[in-house]
Amino acid sequence: MSAQTETSSMPCPFHKDDQLNGDLDTSLDYLPGHPRIRLGDEKGLFEFIRREVWSEDLESISGRLWWMSKQDSSNISPLHRQRVKGRQIIVTEDPRLHLVWIDDRIFLKPLPQYITSFVFWDTFMSDPSKLGAAVKLRKAALGYLRTYFYLIQYESDLRIAQDPALCLVPKEVTWHRFCQFTARLNDITENEISGRYHYGEIRLTRLNYYAPVLLGKSHYQRENYQYRAYFARIQGPLISAFAFFSIALNCMQVSLAASTSDERYSSALLFAACYWLSTLIGFVTGVLMLMLVLKSFLTGDLTEVFSNIDSSVTDFANSTKC
Protein backbone atom coordinates (compact mmCIF):
# COMPACT_ATOMS: atom_id res chain seq x y z
CA MET A 1 0.00 0.00 0.00
CA SER A 2 1.38 3.39 -0.94
CA ALA A 3 1.88 6.17 1.57
CA GLN A 4 -0.77 8.28 -0.14
CA THR A 5 -3.40 5.50 -0.04
CA GLU A 6 -2.54 4.80 3.56
CA THR A 7 -2.96 8.39 4.69
CA SER A 8 -6.18 8.95 2.74
CA SER A 9 -7.83 5.77 4.11
CA MET A 10 -8.67 7.62 7.32
CA PRO A 11 -9.08 11.35 6.52
CA CYS A 12 -10.03 12.24 10.08
CA PRO A 13 -9.48 10.19 13.25
CA PHE A 14 -12.92 11.21 14.60
CA HIS A 15 -16.42 11.91 13.26
CA LYS A 16 -17.45 15.46 12.50
CA ASP A 17 -20.23 15.28 15.07
CA ASP A 18 -17.63 14.38 17.72
CA GLN A 19 -15.18 17.23 17.10
CA LEU A 20 -14.33 19.41 20.09
CA ASN A 21 -13.73 22.59 18.09
CA GLY A 22 -16.04 23.74 15.30
CA ASP A 23 -14.55 27.17 14.61
CA LEU A 24 -13.47 26.17 11.10
CA ASP A 25 -17.04 25.19 10.20
CA THR A 26 -17.58 28.90 9.62
CA SER A 27 -15.44 31.29 7.58
CA LEU A 28 -12.58 31.51 10.07
CA ASP A 29 -9.39 32.61 8.30
CA TYR A 30 -6.87 31.60 10.96
CA LEU A 31 -5.90 28.44 12.80
CA PRO A 32 -8.15 27.89 15.86
CA GLY A 33 -6.31 28.99 18.98
CA HIS A 34 -3.59 30.74 16.96
CA PRO A 35 -4.84 34.00 15.39
CA ARG A 36 -1.37 34.76 14.01
CA ILE A 37 -1.37 31.67 11.77
CA ARG A 38 -3.35 32.43 8.62
CA LEU A 39 -4.90 29.54 6.72
CA GLY A 40 -4.19 31.23 3.40
CA ASP A 41 -0.45 30.99 4.00
CA GLU A 42 -0.05 27.24 3.48
CA LYS A 43 3.74 27.32 3.73
CA GLY A 44 3.65 29.19 7.03
CA LEU A 45 0.79 26.98 8.24
CA PHE A 46 2.62 23.70 7.70
CA GLU A 47 5.85 25.11 9.09
CA PHE A 48 3.93 25.97 12.26
CA ILE A 49 2.37 22.49 12.39
CA ARG A 50 5.84 20.97 11.97
CA ARG A 51 7.08 22.88 15.01
CA GLU A 52 3.96 21.81 16.90
CA VAL A 53 4.03 18.04 16.33
CA TRP A 54 7.38 16.98 14.85
CA SER A 55 10.32 16.13 17.10
CA GLU A 56 13.38 15.95 14.85
CA ASP A 57 15.67 14.53 17.55
CA LEU A 58 13.37 11.70 18.63
CA GLU A 59 12.24 10.87 15.10
CA SER A 60 15.85 10.63 13.92
CA ILE A 61 16.68 8.05 16.60
CA SER A 62 13.28 6.32 16.72
CA GLY A 63 14.91 3.05 15.66
CA ARG A 64 17.00 3.11 18.84
CA LEU A 65 14.48 4.43 21.34
CA TRP A 66 14.12 0.88 22.66
CA TRP A 67 17.44 1.55 24.40
CA MET A 68 15.62 4.08 26.57
CA SER A 69 12.00 2.96 26.77
CA LYS A 70 9.68 0.01 26.39
CA GLN A 71 8.71 -0.45 22.74
CA ASP A 72 5.01 -0.06 23.39
CA SER A 73 2.98 2.94 22.24
CA SER A 74 0.48 2.32 25.05
CA ASN A 75 3.20 2.65 27.71
CA ILE A 76 1.53 5.83 28.96
CA SER A 77 0.11 6.11 32.47
CA PRO A 78 -3.23 7.96 32.81
CA LEU A 79 -3.10 11.31 34.56
CA HIS A 80 -4.43 9.95 37.85
CA ARG A 81 -1.63 7.35 37.83
CA GLN A 82 0.89 10.12 37.26
CA ARG A 83 -0.36 11.65 40.52
CA VAL A 84 -0.14 8.28 42.27
CA LYS A 85 3.49 8.01 41.14
CA GLY A 86 4.09 11.41 42.73
CA ARG A 87 4.83 13.13 39.43
CA GLN A 88 4.19 16.80 38.87
CA ILE A 89 2.75 17.59 35.44
CA ILE A 90 4.80 20.26 33.68
CA VAL A 91 3.12 21.97 30.72
CA THR A 92 5.31 22.34 27.64
CA GLU A 93 4.67 23.46 24.08
CA ASP A 94 7.74 21.62 22.82
CA PRO A 95 6.77 18.31 21.13
CA ARG A 96 10.21 16.84 21.84
CA LEU A 97 9.41 16.94 25.58
CA HIS A 98 5.89 15.49 25.38
CA LEU A 99 5.73 12.35 27.60
CA VAL A 100 9.36 12.76 28.68
CA TRP A 101 9.82 12.39 32.44
CA ILE A 102 12.50 12.72 35.09
CA ASP A 103 12.32 12.04 38.84
CA ASP A 104 8.99 13.50 40.00
CA ARG A 105 8.15 15.45 36.82
CA ILE A 106 6.56 14.61 33.50
CA PHE A 107 6.22 17.01 30.57
CA LEU A 108 2.94 17.15 28.64
CA LYS A 109 1.93 19.24 25.65
CA PRO A 110 -1.67 20.58 25.88
CA LEU A 111 -4.19 19.48 23.25
CA PRO A 112 -4.32 22.29 20.63
CA GLN A 113 -7.75 23.52 19.57
CA TYR A 114 -7.10 23.05 15.85
CA ILE A 115 -6.17 19.38 16.19
CA THR A 116 -9.68 18.66 17.51
CA SER A 117 -11.33 20.21 14.42
CA PHE A 118 -12.77 17.94 11.71
CA VAL A 119 -12.31 20.59 9.00
CA PHE A 120 -8.62 20.94 9.89
CA TRP A 121 -8.01 17.23 9.34
CA ASP A 122 -10.25 16.97 6.29
CA THR A 123 -8.77 20.03 4.56
CA PHE A 124 -5.11 20.06 5.53
CA MET A 125 -4.16 16.66 6.95
CA SER A 126 -6.11 14.08 4.90
CA ASP A 127 -3.17 14.07 2.50
CA PRO A 128 -0.76 16.91 3.26
CA SER A 129 1.55 15.86 0.41
CA LYS A 130 -0.95 17.42 -2.01
CA LEU A 131 -0.33 20.77 -0.35
CA GLY A 132 3.45 20.50 -0.52
CA ALA A 133 3.86 19.29 3.08
CA ALA A 134 5.43 16.05 4.20
CA VAL A 135 3.17 13.09 5.00
CA LYS A 136 5.27 12.66 8.14
CA LEU A 137 3.39 15.60 9.70
CA ARG A 138 0.12 13.69 9.54
CA LYS A 139 1.76 10.65 11.11
CA ALA A 140 3.25 12.74 13.91
CA ALA A 141 -0.06 14.54 14.49
CA LEU A 142 -1.94 11.23 14.66
CA GLY A 143 0.61 9.78 17.07
CA TYR A 144 0.46 12.84 19.31
CA LEU A 145 -3.36 12.91 19.29
CA ARG A 146 -3.54 9.23 20.19
CA THR A 147 -1.49 9.80 23.35
CA TYR A 148 -4.50 11.55 24.87
CA PHE A 149 -6.52 8.36 24.52
CA TYR A 150 -4.10 6.81 27.03
CA LEU A 151 -3.58 9.90 29.20
CA ILE A 152 -7.31 10.36 29.84
CA GLN A 153 -8.92 7.02 30.63
CA TYR A 154 -11.24 8.08 33.44
CA GLU A 155 -13.36 11.07 34.31
CA SER A 156 -10.89 11.87 37.09
CA ASP A 157 -8.18 12.11 34.42
CA LEU A 158 -10.27 14.66 32.53
CA ARG A 159 -10.72 16.75 35.68
CA ILE A 160 -6.96 16.77 36.18
CA ALA A 161 -6.45 17.75 32.53
CA GLN A 162 -8.90 20.64 32.94
CA ASP A 163 -7.16 21.99 36.04
CA PRO A 164 -6.76 25.77 35.49
CA ALA A 165 -3.04 25.41 36.22
CA LEU A 166 -2.67 22.91 33.36
CA CYS A 167 -5.44 23.47 30.78
CA LEU A 168 -4.46 20.36 28.84
CA VAL A 169 -8.05 20.07 27.59
CA PRO A 170 -10.66 22.87 27.26
CA LYS A 171 -12.72 23.15 30.45
CA GLU A 172 -16.07 23.12 28.62
CA VAL A 173 -15.51 19.56 27.33
CA THR A 174 -17.66 17.04 29.19
CA TRP A 175 -16.62 13.47 29.95
CA HIS A 176 -19.23 12.03 27.58
CA ARG A 177 -18.14 14.34 24.79
CA PHE A 178 -14.47 13.52 25.28
CA CYS A 179 -15.21 9.79 25.15
CA GLN A 180 -17.01 10.27 21.83
CA PHE A 181 -14.12 12.33 20.49
CA THR A 182 -11.51 9.68 21.39
CA ALA A 183 -13.63 6.64 20.48
CA ARG A 184 -11.70 5.93 17.25
CA LEU A 185 -8.23 6.97 18.41
CA ASN A 186 -7.41 3.49 19.65
CA ASP A 187 -8.03 2.20 16.11
CA ILE A 188 -5.04 4.16 14.80
CA THR A 189 -2.40 1.59 13.83
CA GLU A 190 1.36 1.73 14.26
CA ASN A 191 1.78 2.13 10.49
CA GLU A 192 -0.19 5.38 10.61
CA ILE A 193 1.97 7.13 13.21
CA SER A 194 5.57 8.36 13.23
CA GLY A 195 8.41 6.39 14.79
CA ARG A 196 8.59 8.45 17.97
CA TYR A 197 5.02 7.51 18.91
CA HIS A 198 5.74 3.80 18.69
CA TYR A 199 6.93 4.50 22.23
CA GLY A 200 5.16 6.10 25.15
CA GLU A 201 6.90 7.69 28.11
CA ILE A 202 10.66 8.16 27.86
CA ARG A 203 13.07 8.79 30.73
CA LEU A 204 15.02 12.04 30.32
CA THR A 205 18.11 10.76 32.12
CA ARG A 206 18.50 8.04 29.49
CA LEU A 207 17.96 10.50 26.65
CA ASN A 208 20.68 12.70 28.11
CA TYR A 209 22.96 9.70 28.57
CA TYR A 210 22.71 8.58 24.93
CA ALA A 211 22.52 12.08 23.40
CA PRO A 212 26.31 12.40 22.80
CA VAL A 213 26.34 9.09 20.90
CA LEU A 214 23.05 9.25 19.00
CA LEU A 215 22.53 12.99 18.54
CA GLY A 216 26.04 14.38 18.75
CA LYS A 217 24.95 16.71 21.56
CA SER A 218 26.17 17.03 25.13
CA HIS A 219 22.60 16.52 26.35
CA TYR A 220 19.05 16.14 25.09
CA GLN A 221 17.56 18.57 27.57
CA ARG A 222 19.24 20.26 30.52
CA GLU A 223 17.89 18.96 33.80
CA ASN A 224 18.98 21.95 35.88
CA TYR A 225 19.70 25.53 34.94
CA GLN A 226 21.63 26.30 38.13
CA TYR A 227 25.10 24.92 38.77
CA ARG A 228 24.36 24.68 42.50
CA ALA A 229 22.05 21.74 41.76
CA TYR A 230 24.64 20.30 39.36
CA PHE A 231 27.39 20.35 41.99
CA ALA A 232 25.01 18.97 44.60
CA ARG A 233 24.37 15.98 42.33
CA ILE A 234 28.02 15.18 41.68
CA GLN A 235 29.48 16.02 45.09
CA GLY A 236 28.92 12.45 46.34
CA PRO A 237 30.95 10.76 43.58
CA LEU A 238 33.59 13.50 43.78
CA ILE A 239 34.03 13.05 47.54
CA SER A 240 34.24 9.26 47.09
CA ALA A 241 36.86 9.62 44.35
CA PHE A 242 38.82 12.12 46.46
CA ALA A 243 38.77 9.74 49.43
CA PHE A 244 39.93 6.82 47.27
CA PHE A 245 42.80 8.79 45.73
CA SER A 246 43.81 10.15 49.14
CA ILE A 247 43.99 6.66 50.64
CA ALA A 248 45.93 5.36 47.63
CA LEU A 249 48.45 8.21 47.79
CA ASN A 250 48.85 7.84 51.57
CA CYS A 251 49.52 4.11 51.17
CA MET A 252 52.17 4.84 48.55
CA GLN A 253 53.72 7.46 50.82
CA VAL A 254 53.94 4.97 53.69
CA SER A 255 55.44 2.33 51.39
CA LEU A 256 58.07 4.75 50.09
CA ALA A 257 58.91 5.92 53.62
CA ALA A 258 59.35 2.32 54.76
CA SER A 259 61.55 1.43 51.79
CA THR A 260 63.85 4.44 52.23
CA SER A 261 64.30 3.78 55.96
CA ASP A 262 65.63 0.28 55.34
CA GLU A 263 67.63 -0.51 52.22
CA ARG A 264 66.67 -4.18 52.51
CA TYR A 265 63.14 -3.27 51.48
CA SER A 266 64.15 -0.72 48.86
CA SER A 267 62.68 -1.42 45.44
CA ALA A 268 63.13 0.53 42.22
CA LEU A 269 59.95 -1.09 40.91
CA LEU A 270 57.93 0.13 43.91
CA PHE A 271 59.33 3.63 43.51
CA ALA A 272 58.52 3.68 39.80
CA ALA A 273 54.99 2.38 40.36
CA CYS A 274 54.26 4.97 43.05
CA TYR A 275 55.77 7.75 40.97
CA TRP A 276 53.82 7.02 37.81
CA LEU A 277 50.55 6.24 39.61
CA SER A 278 50.65 9.52 41.54
CA THR A 279 51.52 11.35 38.31
CA LEU A 280 48.59 9.70 36.55
CA ILE A 281 46.18 10.64 39.34
CA GLY A 282 47.33 14.25 39.20
CA PHE A 283 47.06 14.31 35.40
CA VAL A 284 43.53 12.84 35.36
CA THR A 285 42.38 15.29 38.03
CA GLY A 286 43.82 18.21 36.09
CA VAL A 287 42.19 17.08 32.82
CA LEU A 288 38.78 16.70 34.48
CA MET A 289 39.00 20.16 35.99
CA LEU A 290 40.08 21.62 32.64
CA MET A 291 37.17 19.91 30.85
CA LEU A 292 34.71 21.32 33.39
CA VAL A 293 36.07 24.85 32.97
CA LEU A 294 36.13 24.61 29.15
CA LYS A 295 32.59 23.28 29.01
CA SER A 296 31.39 26.08 31.25
CA PHE A 297 33.29 28.64 29.17
CA LEU A 298 31.84 27.38 25.88
CA THR A 299 28.30 27.44 27.25
CA GLY A 300 28.74 30.92 28.68
CA ASP A 301 28.29 29.74 32.26
CA LEU A 302 31.84 30.22 33.53
CA THR A 303 30.92 33.20 35.68
CA GLU A 304 28.08 31.25 37.21
CA VAL A 305 30.38 28.31 37.94
CA PHE A 306 32.89 30.40 39.87
CA SER A 307 30.17 32.40 41.61
CA ASN A 308 28.55 29.18 42.80
CA ILE A 309 31.91 27.77 43.89
CA ASP A 310 32.65 31.01 45.74
CA SER A 311 29.23 31.01 47.41
CA SER A 312 29.65 27.36 48.37
CA VAL A 313 33.05 28.08 49.95
CA THR A 314 31.60 31.10 51.76
CA ASP A 315 28.66 29.05 53.07
CA PHE A 316 31.05 26.36 54.28
CA ALA A 317 33.27 28.93 56.01
CA ASN A 318 30.28 30.53 57.70
CA SER A 319 28.98 27.17 58.86
CA THR A 320 32.30 26.38 60.57
CA LYS A 321 32.34 29.60 62.57
CA CYS A 322 31.46 29.32 66.23
What would the pLDDT profile of 138-184 be if each residue is shown by its tens digit?
999 999 999 999 999 999 999 999 999 999 999 999 999 999 999 99
- DSSP summary character for residue 101: E
d(CA 224, CA 234): 13
What would the pLDDT profile of 288-304 be if each residue is shown by its tens digit?
777 766 665 554 444 44
**Secondary structure (3-state) at 61:** coil
What would the pLDDT profile of 35-64 be if each residue is shown by its tens digit?
999 999 989 999 999 999 999 999 999 999
Whether the predicted model's global pTM rises above the 0.85 cut: no
- DSSP summary character for residue 153: -
Q: Which amino acid is at 184?
A: R
Cross-strand partners of 88: 105
Calculate the CA 100 to chain-centre distance: 4
Calculate the CA 295 to chain-centre distance: 21
Do 203 and 69 touch, CB atoms closer than 8 A? yes
Q: Given 3-state DSSP classes, what are the helix, strand and coil percentages for the chain, each rounded to the nearest 5?
A: 60, 5, 30
What is the greatest pairwise CA distance in the chain? Answer: 100
Give kind and range of the element (H or E) at residue 106: strand 105-108
Do 134 and 36 touch, CB atoms closer than 8 A? no
d(CA 230, CA 305): 10
